[in-house]
Amino acid sequence: MKFHVLTLFPEMLKSALSAGLVGQGLKKNLLQVETHQPREAAEDAHRSVDDRPFGGGDGMIMMADVLARVLEGIRAQGPTRVIYLSPQGPRLDDRKVRELATLPSLTLVCGRYGGIDQRALNQLIDEELSIGDYVLSGGEPAALVVIDSVARMLPGVLGHEESAHRDSFAQGLLEHPNFTRPRQWRGQSVPEALLSGHHGRIQEWKLRLSQLVTLKKRPELLAGLAPAERANLRAFWREMSPEERQACGLQGLQEEDFQRFLGTR
């Protein structure tokens, strides 16, 4: 997969993309990232890419004609989906990440200053996308989030192919707690189910713990869980010892939470 990033500050991306999983994917040629500096498409002596807004207002607005020259050059290389990173777009989620990972090419437009000319949005941008309900000084951090999240879905980028299918949100749930050595640490023990060696029991435990973590932190994600499954989850929680609940970070869950979850309160 190839990422194109239209940015006034390509240096902000290069160092971040050279490390971690994305950096490994780039070295293995599992993905490509090409940055495009809009100033190279400017036609005046000052290499201007923005100007004052008509009607007044704060900030400078990136000019549609400059953006058009850059984006039309990218599109000439082949089909690509052009996304403007903006707090006004729908929020990025796991479903969207998986959709974007199926594309052969993705172009991310990083705004700066007062944003970009609306006519560029109308004619050059396929969609807007947000990483949260807040404002950044530019789209570069958001571009890094999109590249990292999408790259993880590409074949070969993760060391274990199943990891992307087990992480939080992959199945509509938050990830279960994870443990490693030592088995005993500061008065807390690794749950016995994980030490049983029984694959089926371990998988069942991980599913139930994912549901419990989701109930504690993001209960709205369990809205579609059937009544019988809700009752089974409470029964599982009741069977856990206080020590095991604490080790799993579930000490905040109370019987009242399950009553609301079951609709009995």
Tokens 């240096």: give the residue. 11
Tokens 């400078």: give the residue. 60
The 3-state secondary structure of 107-150 reads EEEECECCCECHHHHHHHCCEEEECCCCCCCECHHHHHHHHHHH
The SS3 of residue 84 is: strand
Question: The pTM is what?
Answer: 0.86
E strand or H helix at 5, and its extent? Answer: strand 2-6
The burial class, CB within 10 Å (0-12 / 13-18 / 19+), for 21 is middle
Domain ranges in the chain with CATH number 1.10.1270.20: 168-262
Domain ranges in the chain with CATH number 3.40.1280.10: 2-151
Integer Cα distance of 159 and 157 in angstroms? 6
Considering the segment(s) 168-262 as one domain, its CATH architecture is Orthogonal Bundle (1.10)
Kindly state which CATH superfamily the domain 2-151 is placed in.
Answer: SPOUT methyltransferase, trefoil knot domain (3.40.1280.10)
Amino acid at 168: S
Let me know the angle formed at the C-alpha of 142 by 136 and 144, rounded to the nearest 5 degrees: 135
pLDDT of the chain, 265 residues: tens digit per residue? 999 999 999 999 998 999 999 999 999 999 999 999 999 999 999 999 999 999 998 889 999 999 999 999 999 999 999 999 999 999 999 999 999 999 999 999 999 888 999 999 999 999 999 999 999 999 999 999 999 999 999 999 987 665 655 566 667 899 999 999 999 999 999 999 999 999 999 999 999 999 999 999 999 999 999 999 999 999 999 999 999 999 999 999 999 999 999 997 6
